[in-house]
Chains A and B, each alone.
Chain A
């Protein structure tokens, strides 16, 4: 088992290296000249040439890659072409809000998706199942960005219930010392015991989180349903019933636990989806996370920034999958 974990981790590192290589070489096929971007619009050719050398773009590709790797290990992702700031530094400010959003959405996905899938499986081919299936398939079929627009329309414009965007009300930001320990606002404000900030942050998070969690909700519900259906058909569930165990126990304990392996794996996948969905909706909600960051970077071909976000997301995703795999492998009760 230990060996499996070590193997799995080393494999993760290998995949990571591959991911780095792919992102790096991708950036080298871009048709635009990063040096020109670096010096900004209306720059002279001389300035561009100087920047080319400064950025090491005149060296052969493998040298550049070597340097890139070296920098990476020193925690240096280069500087954004647009803002000239170190990408790492920018990521540091943009990642926590996104993480917060992803975390919140994943929780939604779990608390809505799993019961949905379970009830669907329990009442297979009955109206409830049809409804749940339609809902979960519908949830994964909705264009996220479109949903975002309409949620804004409904909850801000029509109902005036929830804020349009941002992470915190500007006025609250001016009035209170906004805590900054982890960068996760909800968490930090709880540490501080500042409930005004907490509830305001929560209010701001609701719309983006709901939007983003739609896909994972559907995904988790669908996967839970199909995993459970498979499990319900197994002899050991029939057997459990034949021993006279309560239906609740059979479903919520026996069957659900058996599907835990699938659920954990799906959750890892669904976090991947939430992560990337933030790219589509953060800008709409003016959410100061890596989603907004990459959306702007894409518009201006800021390749170190794109690469930074890509690498971060891929790392997060790989680690997540790794953890999921290890949990599944470690716990004999989940391993089947």
Chain B
């Protein structure tokens, strides 16, 4: 594709983008959520670079300064070992976002193709894949993650893995549902009539048409995953001290929370804020990407 072709082929995308932007503007809550997400991403990227001492976070322990009240020096106070809670909450952003993204990414990688294949081929293959998914969906949410994480051993990597393992079936289900209805769509029939092989149909027609619901689900799931990671850490199944992971911080702060409210409040608020923002974004995206809203 030469350059002018490229530019031309981008133009309609730009228009789509404009539509989204319009809908976004209309939806104030979603717009704010988007700013929130951008802010969080910026924090996650920039803070570890900007803070020269971020590499030496291990050395931050300064127990003489423990559990100091919020002040100008320590806007969120200090923790039980005299570390600055503000700094740790900021640094925790990266951990949470990164793990959530990876976990959701892994779940997508497993779930989406499986769902597309099951939905498109149907029959026996569908039956097998979907029964298998049913089994995973047979666990109440979070429970499988708890079980896996507790058996794999507590660390963040395992927590991520556990979440991915317990999360993919949701995507399989969504994508399969889409695929089944798409399969009946005439453009897929047309493609079949042309003689396209199943592989092409799945990757060119089915998966791209599942993008919207999957994106909506994924953006909401990022919130859910962050909450889950925090919960796992809270149960001692996630991040390990002294990592500045929010759930772990809340878990630790439990012991001090009658003396040092700030130590519990701020990491908890950070979780709340982040999850809220992603949930609102997902909610908004659902409306924005909904073909019904989009049609006109």
Q: Residues of A with Cβ closer than 8 Å to B?
A: 11, 14-16, 18-19, 22-23, 26-27, 29-31, 130, 133-134, 137-138, 140-146, 149-150, 153, 157, 222, 226, 233, 269, 272-273, 275-276, 279-280, 284, 294-295, 298-299, 301, 303, 306-307, 310, 313-314, 316-318
| Inter-subunit contact A313/B235 (CB<8 Å) | no
Q: State whether A22 and B140 are in contact (beta carbons under 8 Å apart), knowing that A31-B153, A157-B258 are contacts in the complex.
A: no
From A23, A298, A301, A303, B235 is in contact (CB under 8 Å) with A298
The CA-CA distance from A30 to B151 in the complex, in Å, is 5
**Is the CB–CB distance between B143 and A310 below 8 Å?**
yes
Closest partner residue, chain B, to A284 (CB atom) = B254
**Is the beta-carbon distance between B151 and A137 smaller than 8 angstroms?**
no
Contact A141 B276 (CB under 8 A): yes
CB distance from A43 to the nearest CB of B (A): 22
How many B residues, CB 8 Å from partner? 47
* Stretch among B12-20, B72-80, B129-137, B173-181 lining the A interface: B129-137
Given A143-B231, A298-B236, A29 contacting B135 (CB threshold 8 A): no
Which of B43-51, B103-111, B187-195, B264-272 binds A? Answer: B264-272
Task: List which B246-261 residues lie within 8 A (CB) of chain A.
Answer: 247, 250-251, 254, 257-258, 261
Using Cβ atoms and an 8 Å threshold, which residues of chain A touch B131?
Answer: 11, 14-15, 18
Determine if A317 and B150 form an interchain contact, defined as CB atoms under 8 angstroms apart: no
Given contacts A279-B235, A299-B236, are A313 and B143 in contact (CB under 8 A)?
yes
B232 to nearest A CB, angstroms? 10
A138 neighbours in B (Cβ, 8 Å):
272, 276
B142 CB-CB contact with A under 8 Å: yes
Asked if B241 CB lies within 8 Å of chain A CBs, one says no
User: Which residue numbers of B lie inside 8 Å of A, CB to CB?
Assistant: 29, 131-132, 134-144, 146-148, 150-153, 223, 227, 230-231, 234-237, 247, 250-251, 254, 257-258, 261, 264, 268, 271-272, 275-276, 279-280, 283, 286, 292
Cβ contact within 8 Å between A233 and B279: no
3 tightest A-B CB contacts, nearest first: A18-B135, A272-B140, A146-B268
Of A19, A29, A31, A153, most buried by chain B (CB within 10 Å of CB) is A19
- A280 (CB) vs chain B CBs: closest residue: B231
Contacts of A314 in B (CB 8 A): 138-140, 143
Q: Is the CB of B29 within 8 A of A306?
A: no
Whether A137 lies near B276 (C-beta < 8 A) is: yes
Give me 24 A-to-B residue pairs in the complex whose CB atoms sit less than 8 angstroms apart, sorted by A's number: A11-B131, A18-B135, A19-B135, A26-B148, A137-B276, A137-B280, A138-B276, A141-B227, A141-B275, A143-B250, A145-B234, A153-B257, A226-B286, A276-B142, A279-B142, A280-B231, A294-B146, A298-B146, A298-B237, A306-B150, A306-B151, A313-B140, A314-B140, A318-B138
Pairwise interchain contact A141-B272, C-beta atoms closer than 8 A: yes
Complex Cα distance A86/B261, Å? 41
Q: Is the CB of A222 within 8 A of B138?
A: no
Q: Whole-angstrom distance from the CB of B249 to the nearest CB of chain A?
A: 10
In the bound complex, CA of A317 to CA of B141 (Å): 10
Residues of A within 8 A of B142 (CB): 273, 276, 279
Q: Are A18 and B230 in contact (CB under 8 A)?
A: no
Contacts of A307 in B (CB 8 A): 147
CB distance from B94 to the nearest CB of A (A): 19
Q: When the two chains form the complex, which single residue of B135, B148, B271, B286 contacts A15, counting CB atoms closer than 8 Å?
A: B135
- Determine the chain B residues whose CB is within 8 A of the CB of A153 once the complex forms: 257-258, 261
Bound form: Cα–Cα A149–B143 in Å: 22
Contacts A133-B283, A138-B276, A298-B237 given; does A276 touch B147 at CB 8 Å: no
Which A residues are in CB contact (< 8 Å) with B143? 275-276, 279, 310, 313-314
Q: Which of B134, B147, B230, B261 lies in contact with A23, CB distance below 8 A?
A: B147
A310 near B147 (CB under 8 angstroms)?
Answer: yes
Instruction: Collect the chain B residues with CB atoms within 8 Å of residue A303's CB.
Output: 151
A317 touches B227 (CB 8 A): no
Choice from A133, A226, A317 contacting B138 with Cβ under 8 Å: A317
Residues of B within 8 A of A318 (CB): 138
Residues on B with beta carbons closer than 8 Å to the beta carbon of A26: 147-148, 151
**C-alpha gap A142/B141 in the complex (Å):** 16
Question: In the complex, which of the residues B137, B146, B231 has the most CB atoms of chain A within 10 Å of its own CB atom?
Answer: B146
Residue numbers in B under 8 Å from A145 (CB-CB): 231, 234, 250-251
